[in-house]
Structure 1
Amino acid sequence: MTETATPVRREGIPLGRIAGVPVVLAYSWFIIAAFTVIVFGPVLDRSNPALGASAYVVAFAYAVLLLISVLVHELAHALTARIYGWPTQKIVLNLWGGHTQFDSFTATPGRSVLVALAGPAANFVLAAGAWLVHDSDSLGSVAEMLMNIFMWSNFVLGVFNVLPGLPLDGGRLVESVVWKATGSQAKGTVAAGWGGRLIVVLLGYWFILRPLLAGDSPDFGNLMITILVAGFLWMGASAAIQQGTLRGRLHLVSAAGLSTPAVGLPATASVQDALRMGAPSSTAVVVCGGDGRPEGVVDPAALQSVPPAAAGTTPLTAVSYALAAGAYVPEWSKGQELLQFLSQLEGRDYAVVDHNGKVTGLLSQEAVLAAITGRRPRPDGHPQGRNR
């Protein structure tokens, strides 16, 4: 099959590799950089009138220092993960700070915690180093100001990231504790996700509701930062809850358990042969090529439309639709293994075969989606309504 090359949208500016790890600066980072300049520029100008217009340059320098802090944070994740053989695909620095993207790996509660906490630990080290330099009194006023900002931003970044809720690194500690106690990573992920939502509620109370109840107006800069951070945390926490819920249903995803009974017939068979096998009422029919591999599926409506007198002379291929190339799965496939396998295949239907290559069932994409989402398929094939 010939594939047409399609342009891939670049997610950002490649910054090269650090310790072999590709680093990408997402275009969205420039939004937070502009926000930093707009919000903190006037603050610096008021507190240091001698700076004048250069206050906005200092504010941008602060955004760059924060970017460096996040990069070191993510590198700590990546390099710690390397100790355990977790392959790092890339580091992306973006609007929300950044994230380290790993390829597939096998995690344990202990390793997950160590990799997660390596990031905040790196920020604490940077804060301590900045404190030592700042304490030396050898810096000029602007450099001293930036070093002070760098010190406090790393300290706050470290403290904030150890809070017990996903998507923060401290959420991995909650996840691992629940995982270790229950034996279920999925339950740990859901618990950590709810921890993240609780953090959002507490942030909203402390920075917005509390000042209002005291009769004060929240500072505009703090208000915007709180809304931005709370939105990021809520989305990440919700995604974690959804991910954990879906992962908890992976045991229900089984090729043998979700497929409907099916038989394989050669492409040379007729409609009459399919009717003899019980199609279309009780058994699906998969059309196999000369090498025995599944190539198509008989359409029940088309099969029934064939007049009885013509059933013996109508080829099976006339009432079938083609399967995508390689769209067949072993009947013992299940869980994450099955999902990864199906993600590499095209089409919506997949033949299920046994160890001998004999067709035993027909698996639909809708059945798999219904299993992992807990929703029943609608008549049109799309999931609906949660199972009770």
Structure 2
Amino acid sequence: MQQSGATALTEPTRGGDPKAPNGRREGISLGRIAGIRVVLAYSWFIIAAFTVIVYGPVLEGQYPDMGIAAYYVAFAYALLLLISVLVHELAHALTAKIFHWPTEKIVLNLWGGHTQFEGFTATPGRSVLVAMAGPAANLALAGAGWLFILAADPSGVAGILSNIFVWANMLIGIFNVLPGLPLDGGRLVESAVWKATGSQEKGTVAAGWAGRIIVIGLAVWFVLLPLARGDRPDVSLMLITVLVGSFLWMGASASIQHGRLRSRLHLVNAAALAEPAIGIPESSTVADILRLSPQGTPVIVLCGPDGRPAGIVSDVAVASVPAGSAAVTPATAVSHALGAGAYVPEWSQGQELVQFLAQLEGQEYAVVDHHGRVTGLLRQSAVVTAITGKEMRRGGRAKAQNR
């Protein structure tokens, strides 16, 4: 649920192989640390190549005797950054374990990394502690590196990498405490507003706007002011500013949207959103359907021999059956199948219901009471409308409701 600049703690997901939602593998499994699965995303190799391309020539210019070895040192710099981010993420995950938040995995990627939890109950205080553990770990690494330099006074490549390690961890630690999402410091803003208003959603939206303000500040400081002074722009610095700013802006915008959507979760209630429906055995006929639902209301749900919802009757198909054939036409001939397990208790609501529906196939779900009797039919479009305030169009797109 939490996000940060070099890192991000994201929404709960289901476990399994390191695959993206589209079914493709998201990266290379690096095994487990303290029981937490670590995945190196393929996108990390982009930032590694960028580091070598940009920093290699700089090293070669500063240390001409290095020659091609400067590029190997630049790659070692990328690996040190990777290790620093991994420690950052582990700090999040291990701190979360104290509060019994189950960690699903750590993913190291183009933008640093993120930690995914399977599900947890957060409070303002716990949220801040878990978020701040990451930057604290990087500052601790910077301190350890500084002590090493004082004690060993390394020279050559060891000295270069030691200094880089210290400054990189200082930068990661300080940058991530800036008060705006998706940076870790955004949790300070979120928790403060959450504590004051009693609404985490309002806190998330406020922290997202704070993140946007930070992006604007970075753009003014590193791009607009130098240009206004007539300074010659540093192409590398401007490129990094644009890339980081774009990432932060997208993360801040996503946080704002996420907060707004979560604020509407209370509207997602299976009983309230369902259309009236009744269940009848699959062995019924079209005549039985017409007797129970002559005008197409309530919706007719067919139930299998075990009493579980199995299909939904189509009004169009029923209307196409000749009157003389209604008594001998099976109900299954005018229905389409429900997805496997596509039924929910009528008391289901909120985030729990949304997460459950996300695991089911299809876009229609039977609603059942405590006795397993069908009482309604819940459509995916009704859930989407409740959460977003927009009606679903054909093809899955949404349009704003007229209110």
Provide the C-alpha distance between the structure 2 equivalents of 1:227 and 1:94, rounded to a whole number of angstroms.
18
1:333 counterpart residue number: 348
For 1:11, the aligned partner's letter is E
Shift of 1:72: 0.9
For 1:265, the aligned partner's letter is I
- Say which is worse superposed, 41-50 or 94-103, in terms of deviation: 41-50
- Say which is worse superposed, 138-147 or 275-284, in terms of deviation: 275-284
Q: Within 5 Å, which residues of 2 pair with 1:33-112?
A: 33-112=48-127
Question: Could you give the per-residue CA deviations for residues 42-73 of structure 1, whole angstroms, max 9, x where no partner exists?
Answer: 22222333333322222222111111111111
SS at match of 2:151: coil
2:247 counterpart residue number: 232
Measured at CA, do residues 209 and 116 of structure 1 come closer, stay the same or move farther in structure 2, by a change above 3 Å?
A: same
2:38 counterpart residue number: 23
SS at match of 1:135: helix
For 1:168, the aligned partner's letter is L
2:192 counterpart residue number: 177
For 2:66, the aligned partner's letter is L
Question: Could you give the per-residue CA deviations for residues 138-162 of structure 1, whole angstroms, max 9, x where no partner exists?
Answer: 2113322221111111111101000
Provide the C-alpha distance between the structure 1 equivalents of 2:253 and 2:385, rounded to a whole number of angstroms.
20
Provide the C-alpha distance between the structure 1 equivalents of 2:240 and 2:67, rounded to a whole number of angstroms.
24
1:370 equivalent to 2:396? Answer: no
Q: Does the 8 A contact of 1:90 with 1:100 survive in 2? A: yes
2:14 counterpart residue number: none
1:193 equivalent to 2:208? Answer: yes
For 2:287, the aligned partner's letter is Q
Provide the C-alpha distance between the structure 2 equivalents of 1:27 and 1:334, rounded to a whole number of angstroms.
37
1:217 equivalent to 2:239? Answer: no
Shift of 1:286: 0.9
1:353 equivalent to 2:332? Answer: no
The one of 331, 345, 348 aligned to 1:316: 331
Q: Does the 8 A contact of 1:212 with 1:218 survive in 2? A: yes
SS at match of 2:179: coil
SS at match of 1:262: strand
TM-score (norm 1): 0.93
- Say which is worse superposed, 112-121 or 24-33, in terms of deviation: 24-33
Measured at CA, do residues 380 and 360 of structure 1 come closer, stay the same or move farther in structure 2, by a change above 3 Å?
A: farther
Question: Could you give the per-residue CA deviations for residues 303-333 of structure 1, whole angstroms, max 9, x where no partner exists?
Answer: 1222333333332222111112221111110
Measured at CA, do residues 381 and 320 of structure 1 come closer, stay the same or move farther in structure 2, by a change above 3 Å?
A: farther
Provide the C-alpha distance between the structure 2 equivalents of 1:34 and 1:379, rounded to a whole number of angstroms.
43
1:262 counterpart residue number: 277
1:304 equivalent to 2:323? Answer: no
Q: Does the 8 A contact of 1:366 with 1:382 survive in 2? A: no
Measured at CA, do residues 286 and 129 of structure 1 come closer, stay the same or move farther in structure 2, by a change above 3 Å?
A: same
Provide the C-alpha distance between the structure 2 equivalents of 1:50 and 1:386, rounded to a whole number of angstroms.
67
Runs of 4+ in 1 over 4 A off after TM superposition: 379-382
Q: Does the 8 A contact of 1:348 with 1:364 survive in 2? A: yes
For 2:86, the aligned partner's letter is L
Q: Does the 8 A contact of 1:280 with 1:303 survive in 2? A: no
Shift of 1:379: 6.5
Q: Does the 8 A contact of 2:293 with 2:300 survive in 1? A: no
Q: Does the 8 A contact of 1:268 with 1:316 survive in 2? A: yes
2:290 counterpart residue number: 275
1:242 counterpart residue number: 257
Measured at CA, do residues 213 and 380 of structure 1 come closer, stay the same or move farther in structure 2, by a change above 3 Å?
A: closer
For 1:212, the aligned partner's letter is L
1:156 equivalent to 2:171? Answer: yes
Q: CA RMSD in A?
A: 1.9
- Say which is worse superposed, 286-295 or 328-337, in terms of deviation: 286-295
Between the two structures, name the one with larger relative contact order (CA 8 Å, sep ≥ 6): 2
For 1:92, the aligned partner's letter is V
2:145 counterpart residue number: 130
1:207 equivalent to 2:222? Answer: yes
Ranges in structure 1 where 5+ consecutive residues have no aligned partner: 1-6
Provide the C-alpha distance between the structure 1 equivalents of 2:402 and 2:111, rounded to a whole number of angstroms.
36
Question: Could you give the per-residue CA deviations for residues 194-253 of structure 1, whole angstroms, max 9, x where no partner exists?
Answer: 121111111111111111111113211111211121121112112212211211111111
Provide the C-alpha distance between the structure 2 equivalents of 1:323 and 1:284, rounded to a whole number of angstroms.
13
TM-score (norm 2): 0.90
2:16 counterpart residue number: none
Provide the C-alpha distance between the structure 2 equivalents of 1:82 and 1:116, rounded to a whole number of angstroms.
13
